[in-house]
Amino acid sequence: MNNPFVNFVSFVDKKAFRTSTYLDRETAKIDKLVEKVEVAIARLQEYRTALITAAVTGKIRVHEPHERHEHE
Protein backbone atom coordinates (compact mmCIF):
# COMPACT_ATOMS: atom_id res chain seq x y z
CA MET A 1 0.00 0.00 0.00
CA ASN A 2 1.40 3.40 -1.03
CA ASN A 3 0.69 5.97 1.71
CA PRO A 4 1.11 9.60 0.48
CA PHE A 5 1.77 10.80 4.02
CA VAL A 6 4.64 8.33 4.47
CA ASN A 7 6.08 9.39 1.11
CA PHE A 8 5.86 13.06 2.12
CA VAL A 9 7.54 12.42 5.48
CA SER A 10 10.28 10.47 3.73
CA PHE A 11 10.81 13.35 1.28
CA VAL A 12 10.98 15.88 4.14
CA ASP A 13 13.44 13.68 6.05
CA LYS A 14 15.72 13.41 3.01
CA LYS A 15 15.54 17.14 2.41
CA ALA A 16 16.28 17.85 6.08
CA PHE A 17 19.26 15.47 5.99
CA ARG A 18 20.68 17.13 2.86
CA THR A 19 20.19 20.56 4.40
CA SER A 20 21.82 19.45 7.64
CA THR A 21 24.77 17.96 5.76
CA TYR A 22 25.20 21.15 3.74
CA LEU A 23 25.09 23.32 6.86
CA ASP A 24 27.60 21.07 8.65
CA ARG A 25 30.00 21.30 5.70
CA GLU A 26 29.68 25.08 5.37
CA THR A 27 30.01 25.60 9.13
CA ALA A 28 33.22 23.55 9.09
CA LYS A 29 34.58 25.83 6.35
CA ILE A 30 33.73 28.90 8.42
CA ASP A 31 35.32 27.36 11.51
CA LYS A 32 38.57 26.78 9.58
CA LEU A 33 38.55 30.37 8.34
CA VAL A 34 37.95 31.69 11.85
CA GLU A 35 40.88 29.61 13.10
CA LYS A 36 43.15 31.02 10.37
CA VAL A 37 42.10 34.57 11.20
CA GLU A 38 42.74 33.98 14.92
CA VAL A 39 46.24 32.66 14.13
CA ALA A 40 46.92 35.68 11.92
CA ILE A 41 45.74 38.05 14.66
CA ALA A 42 48.02 36.35 17.21
CA ARG A 43 51.01 36.63 14.85
CA LEU A 44 50.29 40.28 14.16
CA GLN A 45 50.05 41.00 17.89
CA GLU A 46 53.43 39.30 18.41
CA TYR A 47 54.91 41.34 15.55
CA ARG A 48 53.47 44.54 16.99
CA THR A 49 54.95 43.80 20.40
CA ALA A 50 58.34 43.01 18.88
CA LEU A 51 58.23 46.17 16.78
CA ILE A 52 57.38 48.35 19.78
CA THR A 53 60.16 46.72 21.82
CA ALA A 54 62.68 47.29 19.02
CA ALA A 55 61.63 50.93 18.73
CA VAL A 56 61.82 51.55 22.46
CA THR A 57 65.21 49.88 22.84
CA GLY A 58 66.62 51.72 19.84
CA LYS A 59 67.14 48.65 17.68
CA ILE A 60 65.20 50.35 14.91
CA ARG A 61 65.09 54.02 14.06
CA VAL A 62 61.67 55.59 14.27
CA HIS A 63 60.99 59.16 13.23
CA GLU A 64 57.97 61.18 12.32
CA PRO A 65 57.53 61.78 8.61
CA HIS A 66 58.06 65.36 7.52
CA GLU A 67 54.94 67.36 6.84
CA ARG A 68 54.11 68.21 3.27
CA HIS A 69 53.61 71.86 2.57
CA GLU A 70 50.93 73.07 0.23
CA HIS A 71 53.65 74.48 -2.08
CA GLU A 72 55.23 71.11 -2.72
pTM, 2 dp: 0.62
The answer to whether 41 touches 47, Cβ cutoff 8 Å, is no
Tens of each residue's pLDDT in the chain, 72 residues: 578 777 877 888 999 999 999 999 999 999 999 999 999 999 999 999 999 999 999 999 888 777 666 655
Cα distance between the two ends of the chain: 90
Of 28, 70, 41, which is closest to residue 49 (Cα–Cα)?
41
Judge whether 55 and 62 are in contact, CB under 8 Å: yes
